[in-house]
Amino acid sequence: MSFVSVRKLQKRYGASQIFHDIDCEIERGEFVTLLGPSGCGKSTLLRCIAGLTSVDSGHILLDGQDLVPLSPQKRGIGMVFQSYALFPNMTVRQNVAFGLRMQKVKAELRQTQVEEALRMVELHDFAERYPHQLSGGQCQRVALARSLVTRPRLLLLDEPLSALDARIRKHLREQIREIQRALGLTTIFVTHDQEEALTMSDRIFLMNQGRIVQSGDAETLYTAPVDLFAAGFIGNYNLLDPDSASRLLQRPVAGRLAIRPEAITLRLDGELDGQVLSHSLLGNVIRYRVTIRDVELIVDVLNRSPSDLHPAGQRVSLAIDTLALREVA
């Protein structure tokens, strides 16, 4: 049996159906991400697992135990929110120790566990500071330490990095993943950021309109989307209707096609039947808008040198990796 098992979970707010028979399995020690657009139900699902939101029907099993009848305090779950939720009148040490105090852990053991948690998130030198004396990234690490210190059976992270700047976000997601691996802690992470999901996860559950539409590792979701939504949400696929796909490939195509932008190569030799419309510099990648046979495509090219840059109006030929073509419903 899987360590976490969600079975036929349903949740409704008035006339709005949030979940449609959600089913998923998570193994012990896995880092799983719930990925999807705003309003797809991912945060509500996390709150149902935590016990902060009731369910209408279905079961949530943790190591074989049904959590639905249990209060949040009895589930053995740690949760980190986007908003930190720290007590402003408590020091870092006191905030981290709060859960242990509620569990009536003896003072000596409590002190040891708090010190371990603070060292884990590299905040042992900040133990006597208050939240207003910390940066956003430091506050989020305090929130993480507070969840880890109680040694939960399951850790839930609800978009904990979305309020942070890009540099801090990248560092903290690496730190979270290192801690999770070191502890072997089963973790469910919620985000709408595909880069976070692709770089952090053992598996990703892609959600849309209250359903898990695809699950798998990062490579599977990126290279083999199961439908039009998955292709449109993960990466920057070129999505072509049958008529456009037939003109581009110069052969009959019955269904919609998805083509990754990096699967298309720009060349200045060969049959020059395309034209650059514009380009955008994305650091190590140059993203072109190109038109060919009345079909507009996005093409991603590595930014090796300034000489690689093709201006608007440049005539180009294209080579498409046919193995990267995906039919999508």
pLDDT at position 84 is 83
The DSSP-derived string for 61-118 is EETTEE-TTS-GGGS-EEEE-TT----TTS-HHHHHHHHHHHTT--HHHHHHHHHHHH
How far from the centroid of its chain's Cα atoms is residue 45's Cα? 14
How does residue 271 score in pLDDT terms, banded at 50, 70 and 90?
A: confident
Across 323-329, average pLDDT: 88
Residue burial 199-228, b: 16+ Cβ < 10 Å; e: rest: ebbbbbbbbbebbbbbbbebeebbeebbee
How does residue 231 score in pLDDT terms, banded at 50, 70 and 90?
A: very high
Across 230-256, average pLDDT: 93
Across 118-139, average pLDDT: 94
Q: Contact 204/33 with Cβ under 8 angstroms?
A: yes
Across 139-146, average pLDDT: 93
User: Which pLDDT tens digit goes with each residue over 198-227?
Assistant: 999 999 999 999 999 999 999 999 999 999
H or E element at residue 277:
strand 274-282
Nearest CA to 230 among 251, 209, 248, 246? 209
Query: Helix, strand or coil for residue 186?
Result: coil
User: Which pLDDT tens digit goes with each residue over 30-75?
Assistant: 999 999 999 999 999 999 999 999 999 999 999 999 999 999 999 9
Q: How many C-beta neighbours within 10 Å does residue 290 have?
A: 22
| Domain 4-232, second-level architecture | 3-Layer(aba) Sandwich (3.40)
Does residue 319 have a pLDDT over 80?
A: yes
- In the chain, which residues fall in CATH 2.40.50.100? 255-328
- CATH 2.40.50.100 corresponds to the domain 255-328: yes
How does residue 156 score in pLDDT terms, banded at 50, 70 and 90?
A: very high
CA-CA-CA-CA dihedral for 218, 219, 221, 223, to nearest 10:
150
pLDDT at position 26 is 98
pLDDT at position 40 is 94
Strand partners, 296: 291
Across 81-97, average pLDDT: 92
How far from the centroid of its chain's Cα atoms is residue 262's Cα? 22
Does residue 308 have a pLDDT over 80?
A: no
Does residue 263 have a pLDDT over 80?
A: yes
pLDDT at position 131 is 94
Q: How many C-beta neighbours within 10 Å does residue 289 have?
A: 15
User: Which pLDDT tens digit goes with each residue over 158-185?
Assistant: 999 888 888 888 989 999 999 999 999 9
Does residue 254 have a pLDDT over 80?
A: yes
- In the chain, which residues fall in CATH 3.40.50.300? 4-232
Across 116-143, average pLDDT: 94
